[in-house]
Structure 1
Amino acid sequence: MSAAKSVAGPLAIVAGGGALPAEVAAAVAASGRPFIVIAIRGEAGPEMEPFSPHWLDWGQIGRFFDILKSAGCRQIVMIGSVTRRPDFRAVTPDLGALARLPKIVAALIGGDDTVLKRVIRIFEDEGVTIVAAQDVAPQLLAPQGPLTRGRPDAAALADIEAGSRLVATLGAFDIGQGVVVLGGRVAAVEAAEGTDRMLERVAELKTIGRLPAKGRRGVLVKRTKPGQELRTDLPTVGPRTVELAAAARLAGIAVEAGGVLIAERGATIAAADKAKLFLAGVRLDSAEPGA
């Protein structure tokens, strides 16, 4: 039984930036399950307004738990981008935040996966269960197989396999949900800068001649890392990913089937087709998108 079904009652959606929070909220609404939205001010966008969100600043931790208690929420989904880690030296904490401040500060030290696991522990200590977005909106997961008219050729399949192995290896260092591989060569590894900046770097390397710039070559590979906290940090691609991959003159994008969320799927696929990029969901044990 999934965590989403193991505890009855309303769900709280904690919304960061991007399109995914609204897509998750729409999916939960369609399921008929009662829910509330808590939107992080400065991260979540106006697309959350139709869901009557509670807007909170980072320092309003006490208010956050008060809202959960008032709504009867024992489960939450954390979804959406966070542009920067909160600096509690620069925010005004409420009493609830002050009471939990030692735990919060300690949790924010370390790599992304380490931090997320510590944050989850804080919620669990408060009697709150974290539910994965894919448990309440499984339709957002990348399916297996090609999603676009274009498909990876033999060279791209070799790059996909190499990229998948690399991400698996780098997982022990809490980096590398995404890599770009070109002709079997590692062109870029995603670290703290994120996928967008990594792709911008690849475009620059091609412009200055550090990477081959002729034709569309190279593949962005995104997949989960071994041991990754899948409830709060699943890799994501969307229209912006396609835009930057096209600007970097890549051949395509390969994502782990069942392990990567696709934001605005229709727009993402349309953008890839327009740019003549392939977008394919692949299994971890095979580079073949249809295997």
Structure 2
Amino acid sequence: MTSPAGAPEITGRLAILAGQGRFPVLVARAVRDLGHDPYIFGIKGEADQDWSGYDHCQINIADLKQFARVVRLQAIGSVILAGGIGRRPDLIDIRPTWRSLTGFLTSLRVIVSGGDDKILRFAISVLENEGVKVLAAQQVAPALLGRLGPLGRVRPGSADVQDIEAASEAALALGRLDVGQGAVSVGGRVIALEGLEGTDAMLARVADLRAGNRLPSGRGGVLVKLCKPGQDERADLPSIGTDTVANAHAAGLAGIAIEAGRSLVLERDRVVGEADRLGLFVTGIQPRDEGAS
């Protein structure tokens, strides 16, 4: 099938390796809008959406044998990784194919000690080794990408700009360590960094600090989410949704800044509507990564 102008070249049938959240659903809809019928690999213990309207199966994320079998049966040539993954696979879950045996020892090292970006890079290489082309979700759903500047009615003020700069510097430093993608600054001081627990849990910590009078009362501070320096953009782009807005508001923050063109805004109209209702800004920025090569 010929793809519309500007759409990615999709080889064979396109599959979506679906984790947690609404993101995989939005990608699947975008794929159908391009005239393709995606096959859904729902990751066991992670995929939490209703896939009854699509050809689909459940798969253990480490079961490469099942993946390779379905790839052959469904003539899958392209795959997109979409959605969150809450836990790493156990070593006993790994079922390699003959093709993947050469990298098996590497996989053990990555699973045990690698950061998220290392694991995703390895996962992409394993999928490609099984004969499929890994596409970025934003290639089929470019409307999800955040754009430069405010997305809603509320705009950041001068104090917010200082917080954006401070949190951006911290987020980039954190990303170089392959730890997380987000940071919160209040009054020009970084007060929270995103770890393995994720953005929502970090914002809950900020809310607790605010409730315990460890932060200035009232509303102030900014959440910044950025791509990790050198990150493979085919997986795990920073993303925000309505829950992010609600949790930022609960933490007393003034707004959210995301990396323009390299972050995802899930269900944009709902995000903007909720931010406007709560009086928060959501804006796209272009950070300066002075440590990039």
- Is the shorter-chain TM-score for this pair beyond 0.5, marking a shared fold? yes
Among all aligned residue pairs of Structure 1 and Structure 2, give the percentage whose two residues are the same amino acid. 42
- 3-state secondary structure, aligned to 2:50: helix
Is residue 2:219 matched to residue 1:216?
yes
Counterpart-to-counterpart distance in 1, 2:260 and 2:100? 42
Is residue 2:57 matched to residue 1:54?
yes
Could you tell me which amino acid in structure 1 is paired with residue 281 of structure 2? F
Is residue 2:104 matched to residue 1:114?
no
Could you tell me which amino acid in structure 2 is paired with residue 141 of structure 1? L
Is residue 2:132 matched to residue 1:128?
yes
1:95 is displaced (CA, Å) by: 7.1
Counterpart-to-counterpart distance in 1, 2:141 and 2:127? 21
Alignment of 1:80-95 (within 5 A): 80-89=83-92, 91=93
- 3-state secondary structure, aligned to 1:220: strand
Which residue matches 2:4? none
Which of residues 1, 8, 29 in structure 2 aligns to 1:5?
8
Alignment of 1:7-46 (within 5 A): 8-46=11-49
Counterpart-to-counterpart distance in 1, 2:162 and 2:224? 11
Q: Is the 8 Å Cα contact of residues 9 and 34 (structure 1) preserved in structure 2?
A: no
Which residue matches 1:289? none
Could you tell me which amino acid in structure 1 is paired with residue 279 of structure 2? K
Paired residues, number: 282
TM value normalised by structure 2: 0.88
Which of residues 155, 165, 169 in structure 2 aligns to 1:151?
155
Which residue matches 2:203? 199
Which of residues 260, 264, 272 in structure 1 aligns to 2:263?
260
Counterpart-to-counterpart distance in 2, 1:187 and 1:120? 34
Which of residues 185, 192, 204 in structure 2 aligns to 1:188?
192
1:243 is displaced (CA, Å) by: 1.3
- 3-state secondary structure, aligned to 1:51: coil
Which runs of structure 1 show a deviation greater than 3 angstroms over 4 or more consecutive aligned residues?
4-7, 93-104
- 3-state secondary structure, aligned to 1:204: helix
CA RMSD of aligned residues (A): 2.4
Counterpart-to-counterpart distance in 1, 2:253 and 2:96? 50
Structure 1 residues 47, 157: closer, same or farther in 2, change over 3 A?
farther
- 3-state secondary structure, aligned to 1:13: strand
Which residue matches 1:235? 238
Structure 1 residues 215, 81: closer, same or farther in 2, change over 3 A?
same
Counterpart-to-counterpart distance in 2, 1:226 and 1:99? 28
Which residue matches 1:250? 253
Name which of structure 1's ranges 168-177 and 67-76 shifts more when overlaid on structure 2. Answer: 168-177
Is residue 2:201 matched to residue 1:169?
no
- 3-state secondary structure, aligned to 1:160: helix
TM value normalised by structure 1: 0.89
Counterpart-to-counterpart distance in 1, 2:257 and 2:100? 44
Name which of structure 1's ranges 111-120 and 276-285 shifts more when overlaid on structure 2. Answer: 276-285
1:126 is displaced (CA, Å) by: 2.1
1:218 is displaced (CA, Å) by: 0.1
